[in-house]
Structure 1
């Protein structure tokens, strides 16, 4: 509380503080991605060494871990994109707040705006603005739903992931383990077709 019961922080300061915290989260996600990629490289080396010893079960387990780490990286990248979109929305809202504050301060601007814009045009613009605000609310719901989906735990590997596992084992162990599968592009194509259904 400031002097005479007024709060000391301005909305601009709050938004900038939130944006700063969100950017820290983005940097943290980047660090996590780099750490996972480093661990993937180490795991690939262990798979090669284990394949030389002929331990196929251990190689399969390690290859599954590689696939899980790829999924985790994909989720982190998605989360990072969503955080960046939230930052952009907050910046837009802050800019709108600045504009509305400036319009409220200047009655001359309001008078000139009334002279420039006819009432029917203003009504149309307000309807479009309300539609965009509704869309923003829908987008917020979509973001919360996808975050809930990301928090769900994963079960067994799907058929496409099993094929990817076999190909990964075959490529990483230079043909000593796993089965030679068609290219990963065809597996990804199958996955995209299944998602469209």
Structure 2
């Protein structure tokens, strides 16, 4: 394009010089060449615009192909997830858990309503615990006293078991994530 612009500029300068000399015949020939050059320049601009449009359409098609591939991968992942989750079993477990939580909530409310704990009641609770310990001691013929007292915290071995269970659960989650990643990349 730059070459055409330079050639057109030179031709116009020459045209002016020929017109100034009075060479009308040569000036007309040169003017025709300038007009042809301008038309050629317009055709090149139109071709360039068409090529740009075609390039954009090709990029759009490539993007659609990528999106389609992503949807296919997503579908495969969902199928794999559904196979791993087993929805009916999960639903049954959730219903059971909900029922247990409801029972626990109702029982907790009943206990709270019955005891209506505040600072004065905490002394009664301590006395009640002592009385229960005495009754159990009597019922077990003194063997309960040999067992020791129950602590509020879990023994160290129970804590270790809980930590190991947490680690095992985390390891299982990592394994499932690796499998999912393998499915995505594979």
TM-score when normalising by structure 1: 0.38
Question: Larger Rg: 1 or 2?
Answer: 2
